Each structure stands twice: as structure tokens, then as C-alpha cells.
A and B are shown apart, each in its own frame.
Chain A
């Protein structure tokens, strides 16, 4: 009863809103990695990435789902060896439009997000342990801050997404091998072996903070261009601790559906 009256208030004061966009993006990225399963050395290097996504905005919520692929070629400055990293990340974010912000330009939207992440690190100079894979599935509270504005009589919006996972399911290879626990006694590692026999971890042993700052330019026909800057830091205190920092700059098109 209370919620229906709340939405009734929203509909009385705000025009009905229903926007759906298909997102395609392209950009560059830079990573810092210390994976103790591979080396104590800091590996850092540039790469590129693509993103596909879907954005659905109503008067009540904003839902954004994206799939992003990145490739990087980091090396270390001590002995000059390098590795390849391949990252596939799926992110779903759901933000709630608060009624008390309907008239404000600066909006703060709380939300939740679900994140899946699969990473392959290929250390080229190694032999039996050259390929390290890890997977993560996280649930996180999320926050979106946004502020539309006009410049040269054109519509822009600046904002930032951020997530802090509280619960994560994480898998890593065996302590001194790239073999996965679930793949022991199988001739070849099957895809789902990467997902089995992981552990549920929280802030004590797994910390990840990410932020995505954007500048959106809206065309009159409802399409838009968005420039994003991603940043992420992750620390996982597993048997082989791992820390990664990532930066990405991406330009995306938003095609109105």
C-alpha cells in the first residue's frame, strides 16, 4: 500500500520514463598485477578492450548490464619478461531512483550489482605452469552519482558508478600448479572445472573497489555517446595472494532501442 502510493507520487510529479539503449564500446586499458602464484614481481602494461551492454531506465530504476573483454600485455621492469592477460567480465547493476531526488539535478542512486569475472594470465617464459586462470562471482552494494548539465546548448551528463563486493565466490588453481581442484583425474580441464571447488570470501580476505566515471553526451534522437574511465583495485588473500589494479578508458555508443 505504502509503495503503491509512493509510485503514484512519482508518476504525478515526473513524466513517465522508459529508455532502453544498446551499448557498444571500444577502448584501451592498463593493468598492474602481482600474482604470487606466478611471481612476486609487479607486472604492468597496456592493452585494449571492447564492451557490449544494455541500459534500461525507468522512473523507478536504472538497470545496466555489460560484458567486457580486455587483453593486456604487461611486463616487469626487473627482468623484462612479459605475460598476456585475457579478462572477461560480466556486470549487472540495478540502481533505484529515489523519490525525494526527483526534482534535483544531482542524483545519488543506491543499488546492487552482480559481477562475474574470468581471467587468464599466460606467463610466456614458463612451461608447466604458464597459464593461470581465476574466476570470481561477487555481490556488491553499488552507488551511482550523476549530474546532467548543459554546455553550448547541448545535453551532457557526468557521473560515477562504484561497487564494493561484500560476498564473493572465488576459485584459484591448486597451490603449486595451474591444475584446478575440480580437474584432478580428468584428461583435460573442462570449462565448468574453473567454477567448481572455490571458496566464499568476504571483505576480510577479498577486497575489490571499482569506480567508473563517465561523461555522457545525448543526441536529440535519443542516442548518446559516453566516455568512461574505469578504475579497479582488487586484493585476494588466497594461498597465493593476488593484487591487481586496472585502468580503462572507453568510448561507447548508446543506441536507443
Chain B
């Protein structure tokens, strides 16, 4: 009797111990249709811009499911899935496999680049005695105007770093001027985004009183219109109060200013001393989230909407207050037309 009890207890505990795998089995080689259906369904339930972009996602399923089924290898399957995702016209939508990375490039490749860092480096930065690379920010003084070039919001910036750059722009002891700069140019052309917290850090440094800049809406259910109520976003001054900057600021943008750069341009546009100049930003107004497919490929898509405080959906970009294109003749002569226009604008204020 004792033996029966001990053996029974052991058997029951060890049989318990492995039975969860019955409900959690992994499929090493999922079919093409399982991969396709997981991608289509996840996007269908969690992507945030179907209504804003008037996308017929059911049609995409009809158009691409049979192609996915008949794909003969992983390259063909990847290309079918990537083609389907192009329907979303969203730079935040990627499919990533070891063999390739798909992305929609049309948000900037269809337009003039309006940017050439080589011109800036050779003709504006290096010749200047004030040129420094402070953390991720190239900065100098051009013709009595402060200039900051920020290449990527993926590179962290801090309020103290911004305090230093502003100190440099305002104190004649540490710059080549005999007084403070007349304004600042913040160049975010070709800045493809990164961490949204860096956008807030910089915007807060130039803000004054608390200013509402946007409402964020999070996808909270599978229907295309399932969103939370608005999450209000504000910017408010943070930094050394002895160096609050109230003079004119010009933000330079182009079509490659995307995602966090797009958010930044939008937020800064609510400050009274800020002018957006250059070309429209590329957009990217949803926070992208990641997921995986049953075959291990990874994908990314937008899962929020951002409506700025004027009611504009910034997924479609931020329009400049003053549109300026890079002139080919200027470019050939080593002149950045947009920087020159910003200098003229600030001096005229």
C-alpha cells in the first residue's frame, strides 16, 4: 500500500510536469499560409492608420494570400509579404528576415533630398572656429546665428548638454562673438528618428510655459476604430533658467525628417518664436511596435495615432511655415540655400 502511494505520487507529479507542452507545442516549419495569416491578422487588429489612410486591407488579403500560398521558397514568400505591407504606405512598417529587410521608402525617395552634409561640413562647420561636436550635436556659430545639426534621435541628448550649447551661444567668453547669437537654427534634415524621449528633451529645453502639443491614441482592441481616449502631450521648460532662449529659432526639415524628427518638428511648431523651414517632413506619426511571425521573421508596424494640438494627423508630415528648396546652382557653389534662407529670416526678425 505504501509503495502504491509513493509511486502514485511520483507518477502524478511528473506527469503533471510535462503536460503543459501538449498545449504549447512549437511548429518548426509553419506553412506559408500560417505565416501569411498571422501577419495579416496582426496588422488587421493592431495597425493604427487604416481609417486615416482609407486602406482596403481585405483587398490586400485577397490579392496576396494565394501568392503567398504558392511561394516556392522563403525569398518568394518574403517578397509577397513585403509587397502586401507596402499597401500601408508607412515607413514604420518593416519586415525583417535574415535574408532581407523590407521598408516603404516612398515617403522621401519621391522628393528632392534638399540636404547635403558634405556642403555643410566643408563650408559651414569646419571653417568656423566655434565648431564643436557636443555629444551627438554638431554645433557652431554662423554669421552670428547659432547652428545645431542633430543627425539621429537615436543618439541620447541631455538637458545639461543643451544647457552647455546654449551657454556657448549666449556667452561671449566662450564663443567668438562679442555678444549673444541673434537666433538658432536646429537642423533635423535627414534625421530619420529614434527615441521620442530625446525629442521631448530638446523641445522642453526651448519651451516656455506648459504647452499642449498633441493627443496620442493607443490601439486598444481589434476593430480598426478601437482606440483609447486621448493622452495629452505637453512640453514645458526644463533646464538652466538663467539661459532661457526666447530669440528666433528656425527648424530645418526635409522629407527624410521622419518619426521622432517629425514629432519634434510638430512640437516645436507650437512655440511662438519657432519657424519651420525647408520641405515637409516625411511623417511617421505612430509609435511603432514589434512582433514576430511563426517562422521567426520579425515585423514592425504603427500602433498609435498622433493628432497635433491644431487637429492635424502628423502621420502625413508637418508642413513648413516657409518652403525652401536646395538650389542646384547654390549646391554646386557649396551653398546650402536653406541655411542661407534661415540666416536671412533670423536676421530680419
Contact = CB atoms under 8 A, between A and B. Distances in A.
Contacts of B226: 175
B37 to A, nearest CB: 11
Contacts of B298: 79, 81, 125
Interface in B206-233: 218-222, 226, 228-232
Contacts of A128: 287-290, 303
A65 interface: no
Contact of B23 (A123, A184, A211, A243): A243
A256 to B, nearest CB: 26
B288 A41 contact: no
B231 A123 contact: no
Interface residues of B, number: 45
Contacts of A38: 291-292
A245 B24 contact: yes
A197 to B, nearest CB: 11
A78 B26 contact: yes
Interface stretch (B11-19, B177-185, B264-272): B11-19
Given A32-B21, A78-B26, A231-B13, A126 B5 contact: no
A243 B24 CA distance: 7
Given A40-B294, A128-B289, A231 B26 contact: no
B20 interface: yes
Given A106-B5, A128-B287, A175-B45, 8 more contacts: A32-B21, A40-B294, A149-B2, A158-B6, A160-B13, A177-B287, A229-B13, A231-B13
Interface of B: 2, 5-6, 9, 12-13, 16-17, 19-21, 23-26, 28, 38, 45-46, 48, 218-222, 226, 228-232, 287-298, 303-304
20 contacts: A32-B21, A39-B292, A40-B294, A41-B292, A41-B294, A76-B296, A79-B297, A81-B298, A126-B289, A147-B5, A158-B9, A160-B9, A176-B46, A176-B219, A176-B303, A177-B289, A184-B229, A209-B16, A211-B13, A243-B23
